[in-house]
Amino acid sequence: MKSLMIQGTSSGAGKTTLVAALCRIFSDKGYRVAPFKSQNMSNFAYVTPEFEISRAQAIQAIGARCNITSDLNPILLKPIGNYNSFVYLNGKCYKKMHAKDYYEKFVNTQGIKIASKSLNLLQTNFDLVILEGAGSPAEINLQKFDIANMKIAQKASASVILISDIDKGGSFASLVGTMALTEKKYRKFVKGFVFNKFRGDIDMLKPGFNKLKKLTNIPVLGVIPLMTLNLPEEDSFNAKPQNMVWNKKNISKIDNELNRLAETVKSSIDIKSIEKMLK
């Protein structure tokens, strides 16, 4: 039983796509892989007559070549405005909840139990579970309610890779700041950094890697170039996701695009070091 977790310095850092790429890379290596995200907020779901989960985890499952089940995303929040969301548990609509009630009355009781049960089932049935965090682990106003990042990494005994979107600028500060604001007991889980969406001369970045290692004692595992992907977007800030039909033609397009993504990621980050984390 092995687990790896991708967390980010912010929303939109590239967690979802890196998990999808790693699912395909390790599936190609012969691992039985499953993706997992304990809690996702999105109005764009993968819907069957039996359950609904975030379509991001469905796409990651295509990357992993595993069956799409509700355990891949046991808690789905569908926002409806005014701080209210419909809460889906194990793929079924549970009830409408206000954010205050969700955080203060649900996440650390029923929520963490539901997430842990699905995680345990996946860890039992697969060689490798690749977890995706949500937002940032350093949201200090919400850390005690956060069941999508470090608490779940601890339960999974997962090595964590922290990814940052360098195209927005400020990635070095974001990585150092995230580590500084992450609770001390969780910092040991972070084993590597990845810079995402880079365009330019990588030699200009390398002096910063050494300074970053001295400040955090954590190595940079790679730099992923900015690339255009023809994958369905998530329901996130500045995104304009479209509904999609999950037919053979569209799934084949996703599969081909995941192969292209995996090849880029495989040539951009240190996969051997990641494999060592799993031993």
Cβ atoms of 68 and 56 within 8 Å: the answer is no
How many domains, the chain? 1
Torsion of CA 17, 19, 20, 26, to 10 degrees: 140
* Each residue's pLDDT tens digit, 221-275: 999 999 988 887 765 545 555 677 889 998 999 999 999 999 999 999 999 999 9
Identify the CATH number of the domain in which residue 50 sits. Answer: 3.40.50.300
What is the arithmetic mean of pLDDT over 156-178?
97
* Each residue's pLDDT tens digit, 209-220: 999 999 999 999
Confidence bin at 100 (pLDDT 50/70/90): very high
* Each residue's pLDDT tens digit, 11-33: 999 999 999 999 999 999 999 99
- Give the span between the Cα atoms of 99 and 117, in whole angstroms: 23
Q: Angle, nearest 10°, between helix axes 248-266 and 55-64?
A: 70
Helix (H, G, I), strand (E, B) or coil at 169: coil
| Percentage of the chain exceeding pLDDT 70 | 97
* Each residue's pLDDT tens digit, 102-161: 999 999 999 999 999 999 999 999 999 999 999 999 999 999 999 999 999 999 999 999
Give me the pLDDT at residue 56, please: 95
CA distances from 28 to 9, 258, 271 (A): 28, 12, 12
- Nearest CA to 55 out of 71, 67, 68 is that of 68
Strand partners, 47: 52
Q: Which residue segment(s) compose the domain that 162 sits in? A: 2-277
Q: Is the pTM of this model over 0.85?
A: yes
